Amino acid sequence: MAEKLLEFFLSKEAKYTMDPETEALLEKLFAKDSELYQNRGFQRRIGWGKKPALINVDLANAWTQEGSPFTCPGMETIIPAVNQVLAAFRAKGLPVVFTTTAYEITEGDHTDMGLWAKKIPAETNAAGSKAVEIDERLGRRPEELVIVKKQASAFHGTNLASFLTAAEVDTIVVTGATASGCIRSTVADGIAEGFRPIVVRECIGDRIAGAVEWNLFDIDAKFGDVEPLKAVLERLRRNEPYSHEYPGVQQE
Amino acid sequence: MAEKLLEFFLSKEAKYTMDPETEALLEKLFAKDSELYQNRGFQRRIGWGKKPALINVDLANAWTQEGSPFTCPGMETIIPAVNQVLAAFRAKGLPVVFTTTAYEITEGDHTDMGLWAKKIPAETNAAGSKAVEIDERLGRRPEELVIVKKQASAFHGTNLASFLTAAEVDTIVVTGATASGCIRSTVADGIAEGFRPIVVRECIGDRIAGAVEWNLFDIDAKFGDVEPLKAVLERLRRNEPYSHEYPGVQQE
Amino acid sequence: MAEKLLEFFLSKEAKYTMDPETEALLEKLFAKDSELYQNRGFQRRIGWGKKPALINVDLANAWTQEGSPFTCPGMETIIPAVNQVLAAFRAKGLPVVFTTTAYEITEGDHTDMGLWAKKIPAETNAAGSKAVEIDERLGRRPEELVIVKKQASAFHGTNLASFLTAAEVDTIVVTGATASGCIRSTVADGIAEGFRPIVVRECIGDRIAGAVEWNLFDIDAKFGDVEPLKAVLERLRRNEPYSHEYPGVQQE
Amino acid sequence: MAEKLLEFFLSKEAKYTMDPETEALLEKLFAKDSELYQNRGFQRRIGWGKKPALINVDLANAWTQEGSPFTCPGMETIIPAVNQVLAAFRAKGLPVVFTTTAYEITEGDHTDMGLWAKKIPAETNAAGSKAVEIDERLGRRPEELVIVKKQASAFHGTNLASFLTAAEVDTIVVTGATASGCIRSTVADGIAEGFRPIVVRECIGDRIAGAVEWNLFDIDAKFGDVEPLKAVLERLRRNEPYSHEYPGVQQE
């Protein structure tokens, strides 16, 4: 049966469906780990605040299309799921942010990749290239901010926290790729910065077998709530439409 | 055999030795994932710079001793391994930092836990308690800085980056707990800040089955080099003793 | 008359009252500069948001009492003014934060002063000393957070932004010392982080002639609103008492 | 004579030369303030480290050319002075960075201006406009990084610290505009991050009378060394040419 699990992990790279037996096995393992977490007071629910923003992490072509070292499988289901969340945010006038990872200078002694190209093929994500553009299937609107980051976290070295605080956001709904890289770092930073992270289960991709499951398990235990798409859409439906006024500001 | 793997994960919580069969299985899986990473240009080596600092993450009693929700197993081998690294840093006069996670205000509306207590039992780590003191077995010296952090990353909301940059450090050797929490966030932030993270394999703990292996695999692929204790000690032996002078500063 | 101005600046170090002639002169100068700013669209009003926090910057003995390199004059009027603001915040249950600047390690090669001791006498502010304790006249309560910072800004290398965001604060009312150092850096960072800074005119000190006036002028032009104590107290009186509930959180 | 000082301040907006009498008066005032600072151990020299980077702050057309709310006078001398520093950095292969301040979204509820447009006319600096391009007279080269910031400090919400640390920079030479805004915030953040700030006296502009003098006085007292162009050029001449190698990295 371990061969089965192994097979699952290996095959997983091509498709994100699991055979029922492996799924059961994984669930059993996570259930056991969860028992310890529950006994010790981990895996609490952070819940939604009053004003969520949607953060779509690295749903640019390098991650969503074939042909890049960064390509992730499963986009044929992830993109439509993200589009459902997008529609819900747009319907309420809530803030939507996209991130991409792109570099102005990828050669020479002083690049803007920092040290990251010493671990991963960052040099393939040149600013201005097709690879780093947001996937057209998401139909980004001009009023939706694109943040160009240089590191894994959408918060690190960017104006994301500043943008969210100024917009009175208290909750970040997170989608995108990859679970083991930019999603995890964004969620860990998100709660550290004081925002409530909600990760939409069906909207998260990775390129390596098992990475989505393990990382979402860790995230849900400690850093943010992993929720199914259905629950997220229902919650957004109940959310008040966002009206831009600051009642407290009656400057005289 | 999957039962075997499962058993391993579950038993792992009590002891960090693996039965050879399971080890082989995991190695096979990671080898396969590594193949994809290698083909795509991930898992590069970041290497050592010129001046390393040692960051011992949360080796305080809540993590190293029995009786806390945060207790991690395996400390009977982790602590001695950390002590070997500590001795090597002290012999060269290189900077040593300890972190702990502790809160001044754990009740009422405005605590310094941020949102973290909404996910984990942060409220048990009160400032001034025995739980948050650095484990005595590490013999911290007065000139070794203790950074009290509030979130997972040793960098988030602390003066660590400032301290390291001012001290001309370019490499951080990381030990401590937990792999899935503070270690991972510290390493991800470390490379993002521009420091080379080196994680010492034998010096990392966690409380949940499999968490050390999976997180170190992710880290090594993308964020820092995971190295065996022996290699780290050898590298430190070759390091020049640190002499505090700034040759460039001949202010007139 | 310039001699008069000079005299004023020099005497100002001992007392914060101005002779009417000098006051008129300064007002004339700032009025002229303001005209340019107004013509160009600077000096806008940022206004109050919904939930303010009070940030009392470095009202510790080194700044408020005689005998330190950091001593500021004028505390006989500043402290009572701060106490009025404190009373208003406490009456509404709004968050109150104090900062101090203190160092664990002030000798040797690897101190936690960063580079700051290369410019100012930071080494005199040792952690645990009387000098870095909050002035007793302010009657700090146990539930009021003290943030120990290492640099000028109350935000830099601290959990202040995280604390404020988690507490749903959108406005920071700032008091303390010094105008040219920690106040200015805190306000500049405050608006950059997305919080509305309100600086209380009568609650700000410095140790150098003219520093309060010039720095508050710059702040008011670009970074935050400088308001008289009376207006701040009136505004707080109108503020709803803070009730801790997150209406949005109905997690199912 | 105070009328004289006033006149100077007011006329200063058009030209940065001072009449000798006013200069003497200001020097007398700063000398007196300096006496107190010197007695108390402020105004220390931070000095140069081993590897400086040049940070040219907001030398984009909105600041350097007529016709913007952000226009600063004096560029006919500032630009040539900056070009001398640029030449010295380029001759040694040392890192050069330019910043500009530009916004993607300046209308609607969720702009990337944060709260800054509530104080200053940030909305005039649209991304992609001529206004936010680096002044052509500086001849920026493709390998010289342009950092697009959103707030005053070149460090806030940008990858500057990460870039500098990864490039092993320990010293930042700062030029540009404005003294009372982006220069001051950049220098204060620079030393806080652990870099040694050196501000080149002749390379700093502002739009308001007296702002350069007052802010450079405050900076020199507490945050960085203000040095004349001549001294900076001489120091750079002595600097070793930068050769890109990490001697410590002999990864096996």
> Contact B249/D48, CB-based, under 8 Å?
yes
Question: Within chain D, where are the H helices?
Answer: 2-12, 20-40, 61-64, 75-92, 160-166, 184-193, 211-222, 229-238
Q: How far is D86 from chain A (nearest CA, A)?
A: 16
**Contact D103/D113 with Cβ under 8 angstroms?**
yes
The SS3 call for residue A109 is coil
The pair of structure tokens assigned to D219 is 């900076």
This complex has an ipTM of 0.89
**Is the Cβ–Cβ distance between B222 and A181 less than 8 Å?**
yes
- Amino acid sitting at position B169: V
A194 contacts chain C (CB < 8 A): yes
Residues in chain B: 252
Closest CA in chain C for residue A234 = C252
Distance of CA A82 to the CA centre of its chain: 10
Torsion angles phi and psi, residue C234, rounded to 5: -65, -45
Q: What is the DSSP string of A161-215?
A: HHHHHHTT--EEEEEEE-IIIIIHHHHHHHHHHT-EEEEEEEEEE-SSTTHHHHH
**What domains appear along chain C, each with residue ranges and CATH number?**
1-43 (no CATH), 46-238 (3.40.50.850)
Question: Tokens 């991650």 label which residue?
Answer: A63
Q: Are D14 and D76 in contact (CB under 8 A)?
A: no
Per-residue pLDDT of chain C (252 residues; tens, 9 = 90+): 234 434 444 444 434 444 565 566 667 768 878 888 999 999 999 999 999 999 999 999 999 999 999 999 999 999 999 999 999 999 999 999 999 999 999 999 899 999 999 999 999 999 999 999 999 999 999 999 999 999 999 999 999 999 999 999 999 999 999 999 999 999 999 999 999 999 999 999 998 867 898 899 999 999 999 999 999 999 999 887 764 443 333 333
- Count of positions (residues) in chain C: 252
**Residue D51 near chain C (CB below 8 Å):** no
Q: How far is CA B184 from CA A112, B194, B219, in A?
A: 23, 16, 7
Contacts of B225 (CB under 8 A, 6+ apart): B45, B46, B47, B196, B197, B198, B199
pLDDT, tens digit, 9 for 90 and up, residues A11-36: 444 344 445 655 666 677 788 788 99
Q: Tell me, what amino acid is at C212?
A: V
Looking at B72, B131, B179, B182, which residue is catalytic?
Answer: B182
C-alpha C80/C-alpha C93 separation (Å) is: 20
D115 close to A (CB below 8 A)? yes
d(CA B187, CA B199): 8
User: What distance in Å separates the CA atoms of residue B139 and residue B84, rounded to the nearest whole number?
Assistant: 12
Residues of chain B in contact with residue D161, where contact means CB-CB under 8 angstroms, are 161, 165, 193-194
Chain A contact present for B149, CB below 8 A:
no
Q: How far is the C-alpha of A206 from the C-alpha of A183, rounded, in Å? A: 10
Rounded to 5°, angle at Cα C45 from C44 and C48: 155
With pLDDT > 70 as the criterion, what percentage of chain A qualifies? 83
DSSP-based three-state secondary structure for D38 = helix
Structural tokens at position A203: 């909207």
B105 and C145 in contact by Cβ < 8 A? Answer: yes
CA distance C9 to C3: 10
* Bridge partners, B98 (sequence order): B56, B146
- Residues in chain A closer than 8 A to B197 (CB atoms): none
**Neighbours, chain D (3 or more CB pairs < 8 A):** A, B, C
Q: State the nearest Cα–Cα gap between B79 and chain D, in angstroms.
A: 26
Counting Cβ atoms within 10 Å, is residue A18 exposed (0-12), middle (13-18) or buried (19+)? middle
Buried b (16+ CB within 10 A) or exposed e, C147-178: bbbbbbbbbbbbbbbbbbbbbbbbbbbbbbbb
CB atoms A151 and D158 under 8 Å: no
**B210: CB partners within 8 A, 6+ apart:** A29, A33, A214, B9, B12
Q: By C-alpha distance, which of D90, D57, D50 is closest to D170?
A: D50
| Residue among B110, B112, B159 whose CB faces C157 most closely | B159
Strands D196-205 vs D171-177: parallel, antiparallel or unpaired: parallel
Judge: D42–C119 Cβ closer than 8 Å, yes or no. Answer: yes
Q: How far is C123 from chain B (nearest CA, A)?
A: 14
Enumerate the residues of chain C whose CB falls inside 8 A of the CB of residue B157: 157-162
A234, containing H or E segment: helix A229-238
Reduced to 3 states (helix: H, G, I; strand: E, B; else coil), residue B174 is: strand
Interface contacts (A, D; CB < 8 Å): 75
Is B173 strand, coil or helix? strand
User: Which listed residue (C131, C161, C182, C188) is catalytic?
Assistant: C182
Nearest CA in chain D to B236: D248
Q: How many CB pairs (< 8 A) connect C and D?
A: 182
On chain B, the residues whose CB falls within 8 A of the CB of C166 are 114-115
Nearest to D162 among B170, B194, B251 (CB): B194
**Neighbour subunits, A (≥3 Cβ pairs < 8 A):** B, C, D
Chain D residues with CB-CB distance to B53 below 8 A? none
Q: Where does chain B have alpha helices with state H?
A: 2-12, 20-40, 61-64, 75-92, 160-166, 184-193, 211-222, 229-238
For residue A90, give every residue at least 6 positions away whose Cβ sits within 8 Å of its Cβ, in sequence order, or none.
A96, A141
Residue B28 neighbours by CB under 8 Å, 6+ apart: A6
**What pLDDT, on a 0 to 100 scale, did the predictor assign at position D54?**
98
CB < 8 Å from B in window 22-41 of C: none
CB A68 within 8 A of CB A142: no
Residues forming a β-bridge with D103:
D126
B71: β partners:
none
D168·B49 Cβ contact <8 A: yes
- Chain D residues with CB-CB distance to B47 below 8 A: 246, 249, 251
Using an 8 Å Cβ cutoff, are B131 and B61 in contact? yes
Within 10 A of B252 (CB to CB), how many other CB atoms are there? 7
Shortest Cα–Cα distance, D174 to chain C (Å): 17
Q: Are the C-beta atoms of residues B36 and A14 closer than 8 Å to each other? A: no
Residues 6+ apart with CB under 8 A from C138: C56, C59, C79, C82, C83, C86, C98
- Crossing angle (nearest 10°) for helices B184-193 and A184-193: 90
What end-to-end distance do the CA atoms of chain A give, in Å?
72
Residue C167: which of B36, D128, B117 has the closest Cα? B117
The ranges of chain D with pLDDT < 50 are 1-17, 244-252
Are the Cβ atoms of A5 and B10 closer than 8 angstroms?
Answer: no
B203 is catalytic: no
Q: Which chains touch B (3 or more CB pairs under 8 A)?
A: A, C, D
Q: In angstroms, what separates the C-alpha of A130 from chain D's closest C-alpha?
A: 19
With a cut of 70, which residues of chain A have pLDDT below it?
Answer: 1-26, 209, 241-252
- Give yes or no for a contact between D207 and D180, defined as CB atoms under 8 angstroms apart: no
Which residues in chain D touch residue C73, judged by CB atoms under 8 angstroms apart? none
pLDDT at A30: 81
User: What per-residue confidence (pLDDT) applies to B20?
Assistant: 62
Window B:72-101, CB contacts with A under 8 Å: none
Predicted confidence (pLDDT) per residue in D140-194, tens digit: 999 999 999 999 999 999 999 999 999 999 999 999 999 999 999 999 999 999 9
Q: In what order do the strands lie in the sheet with D52-57?
A: D145-149, D96-101, D52-57, D171-177, D196-205, D225-227
Catalytic residue among D86, D154, D182, D199: D182
Q: How many CB atoms lie within 10 A of CB A66?
A: 8
Nearest Cβ partner of D249 from B47, B166, B193?
A: B47
Distance CA D193, CA D187 (A): 10
Q: Is C129 left (phi over 0), alpha (psi -120 to 50) or beta?
A: beta
For D34, other C-beta atoms within 10 Å of its C-beta total 17
User: How many angstroms separate the CA atoms of D141 and D164, rounded?
Assistant: 18
pLDDT score at B9: 41
Cα D129 vs. chain centroid, distance in angstroms? 22
Mutate one of B168, B236, B245 to test the D interface: name it (highest D CB count within 10 A): B168
Low-confidence ranges of chain B (pLDDT < 70): 1-26, 29, 209, 242-252
Count the Cβ atoms, other than its own, within 10 Å of residue D250.
10
* φ and ψ at residue C7, rounded to 5 degrees: -55, -45
CB pair distance less than 8 Å for A163 and D110: yes
Measured between CA atoms, how close is A197 to chain D, in angstroms? Answer: 19
Residue of C nearest to A231 (CA): C252
> To probe the interface with B, which of C112, C118, C147, C251 has the most B CB atoms within 10 Å?
C112
Contacts of A151 in chain D (CB under 8 A): 159, 162
What's the rounded Cα separation, in Å, for the pair C134 and C154? 15
